[in-house]
């Protein structure tokens, strides 16, 4: 869970963090952690009577742990397409049932992936890293990405949501996964460099999206489709993306959005970037953000998952030849 600010004094409600240890978490911290805006939390409170935060002596909203747990569950159900009016009035037990019935946060049975999560949980990191590298070497890049990296990320996220893993486990997981993917991709990326193949793809996330594994997995699949990739890491400001596109003669900007970034921030970010880029440069987006299911600006393509990348690249090449 996001750490709370132990200093309860004088924090304006619109400040980044307002919280008191042991009583509740402030609205800024909780909105950030759950991936909602502060306005949404206030509107729900008025309209549906939930959440019902306590108040600090200064009048700031403070959300106790059980409301945070319910909000986390609510957000995941909304991401899966449920409506606020249907989920907000329900009890936690009812929501858990609903999540189970609709498969939200449920992992497909896979003993090998369960074993990897268990190695993480009990702190056997060397074994965890070794097992990752072994599976990656045995299965090859494409299978490793699709059959291990992607479902394991979801499993680790579900284990965090169920409080069986902590945030530091997620960090250790990400670090090990990045090292494994990069070591597998390096020879391919080096061989592709300077061959003059197109499309040339710039990969990053927008400010506010700190999750970098989705875009790394997309990079692996793009490299396997002979695309020359320029990876900028995460959270690149718009102007830097625009400058890099010009400097590297980029055809496609690929962006990743997890479910944690508020939907409106995703849409606004995409509109601003679209307006700043030349119309010849296409934006491809992917990731489990529900915002990507909305109508996206012209010139922004939602690539639904890692599997379709090969076909989408083939279509791009076909239309570039016309």
The answer to the question of residue 49 lying near ligand B12 (CB under 6 A) is no
The answer to the question of residue 70 lying near ligand B12 (CB under 6 A) is no
**Of residues 216-245, which lie at the interface with ligand B12 (CB under 6 A)?**
217-218
Distance CA 20, CA 64 (A): 10
Angle between helices 150-161 and 167-192 (to 10 degrees): 160
Residues 79, 131, 228, 251: which binds ligand B12 (CB under 6 A)? 79
Residues in contact with ligand B12, total (CB under 6 A)?
42
The answer to the question of residue 201 lying near ligand B12 (CB under 6 A) is no
Q: x/- site string to ligand B12, residues 254 to 293, per CB under 6 A?
A: x-x-xxx-----------------------xxxxx-----
- The answer to whether the CB of 224 falls within 8 A of the CB of 142 is yes
Using the contact rule CB under 6 A, the part of the chain among 93-101, 112-120, 215-223, 265-273 near ligand B12 is 215-223
The answer to the question of residue 30 lying near ligand B12 (CB under 6 A) is no
Distance CA 49, CA 44 (A): 7
| Residue 10 CB, nearest approach to ligand B12 (Å) | 26
Residues 13, 15, 33, 142: which binds ligand B12 (CB under 6 A)? 33
Distance CA 224, CA 64 (A): 47
Q: x/- site string to ligand B12, residues 98 to 137, per CB under 6 A?
A: ----------------------------------------
The answer to the question of residue 314 lying near ligand B12 (CB under 6 A) is no
Distance CA 138, CA 179 (A): 16
| Residue 116 CB, nearest approach to ligand B12 (Å) | 13
The answer to the question of residue 214 lying near ligand B12 (CB under 6 A) is yes
**Token representation of residue 94:** 């009812």
Distance CA 35, CA 73 (A): 12
Length of the chain: 322
| Residue 275 CB, nearest approach to ligand B12 (Å) | 20
- Select 57 or 312, whichever has its Cβ closest to ligand B12: 312
- The answer to whether the CB of 104 falls within 8 A of the CB of 88 is no
CB atoms within 10 A of CB 243: 12
3-state secondary structure of 261: coil
Using only C-alpha atoms, what is the Rg of the chain? 21
Per DSSP, what are the bridge partners of residue 202? 230, 253
The answer to the question of residue 4 lying near ligand B12 (CB under 6 A) is no
**Token representation of residue 263:** 């939907």
- The C-alpha angle 123, 124, 129, rounded to 5 degrees, equals 120
| Residue 303 CB, nearest approach to ligand B12 (Å) | 4
**Token representation of residue 285:** 């987006």
Chain residues binding ligand B12 by CB under 6 A are 33-35, 75-76, 79, 150, 153-154, 156-158, 160-161, 167, 170-171, 173-174, 209-215, 217-218, 254, 256, 258-260, 284-288, 303, 305-306, 309
């Amino acid at each position: 869970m996001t750490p709370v600010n132990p200093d309860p004094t004088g924090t304006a409600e619109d400040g980044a963090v307002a919280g008191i240890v042991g009583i509740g978490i402030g609205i800024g911290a909780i909105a950030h952690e759950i991936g909602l805006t502060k306005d949404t939390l206030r509107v729900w409170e008025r309209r549906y009577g939930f959440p019902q935060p306590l108040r600090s002596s200064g009048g700031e909203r403070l959300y106790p742990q059980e409301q945070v747990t319910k909000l986390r569950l609510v957000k995941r159900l909304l991401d899966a397409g449920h409506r606020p009016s249907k989920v907000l009035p329900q009890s936690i037990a009812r929501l858990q049932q609903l999540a189970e019935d609709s498969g939200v946060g449920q992992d497909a049975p896979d003993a090998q992936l369960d074993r990897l999560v268990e190695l993480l949980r009990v702190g056997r990191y060397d074994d965890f890293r070794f097992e990752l590298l072994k599976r990656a070497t045995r299965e090859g890049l494409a299978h490793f990405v699709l059959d291990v990296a992607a479902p394991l990320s979801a499993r680790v996220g579900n284990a965090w949501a169920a409080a069986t893993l902590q945030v530091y486990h997620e960090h250790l997981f990400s670090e090990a996964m990045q090292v494994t993917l990069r070591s597998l991709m390096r020879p391919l990326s080096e061989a592709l460099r300077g061959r003059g193949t197109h499309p040339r793809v710039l990969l990053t996330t927008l400010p506010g999206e700190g999750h970098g594994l989705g875009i790394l997995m997309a990079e692996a699949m793009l490299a396997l489709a002979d695309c020359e990739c320029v990876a900028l890491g995460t959270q690149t400001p718009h102007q830097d993306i625009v400058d890099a596109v010009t400097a590297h003669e980029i055809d496609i900007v690929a962006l990743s959005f997890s479910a944690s970034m508020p939907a409106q921030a995703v849409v606004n970010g995409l509109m601003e970037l679209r307006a700043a880029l030349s119309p010849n440069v296409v934006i491809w987006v992917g990731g489990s953000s529900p915002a990507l299911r909305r109508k996206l600006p012209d010139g922004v393509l939602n690539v639904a998952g890692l599997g379709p990348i090969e076909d989408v690249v083939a279509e791009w090449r076909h239309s570039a030849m016309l």
